[in-house]
């Protein structure tokens, strides 16, 4: 199994909550990733490309595997900070 996902990574939970709120009100995930994410993937709207088991930290992989394509996760905490994950594919 492989997944494709985009994410927004921030250091602060309150900022992650604020971004999630903006998305719920119609904000575009890719635009918000470019504006707020601290990950280099922000230049691609948060797109991380395809990845398989063991390629991402466990919390990130677990959250992505449970999402339906096109859905956005709740806030996921990892050693890198707080993520909002948008699953964009599965094969």
Query: 21-24: which pairs have CB atoms within 8 A and are 24 or more residues apart?
Result: 23/72, 23/84
Q: What is the pLDDT of residue 49?
A: 98
Q: What is the pLDDT along the chain (91 residues), one digit of tens a residue?
A: 999 999 999 999 999 999 999 999 999 999 999 999 999 999 999 999 999 999 999 999 999 999 999 999 999 999 999 999 999 999 9
Structural contact between residues 37 and 7, judged by C-beta atoms closer than 8 angstroms: yes
Q: What is the pLDDT of residue 19?
A: 98
Q: What is the pLDDT of residue 1?
A: 93
Q: What is the pLDDT of residue 58?
A: 97
Sequence spans of domains, the chain: 3-90
Q: Which fold has domain 3-90?
A: Chitinase A; domain 3 (3.10.50)
Structural contact between residues 80 and 7, judged by C-beta atoms closer than 8 angstroms: no
């Amino acid at each position: 199994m492989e997944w494709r996902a985009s994410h927004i990574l921030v250091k602060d939970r309150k900022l992650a909550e604020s971004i999630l709120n903006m998305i719920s009100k119609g904000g575009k995930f890719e635009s918000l990733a470019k504006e707020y994410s601290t990950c280099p993937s922000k230049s691609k709207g948060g797109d991380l490309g395809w990845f398989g088991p063991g390629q991402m930290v466990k919390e990130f992989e677990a959250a992505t595997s449970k999402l339906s394509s096109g859905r956005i996760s709740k806030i996921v905490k990892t050693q890198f900070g707080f993520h909002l994950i948008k699953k964009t594919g599965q094969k």
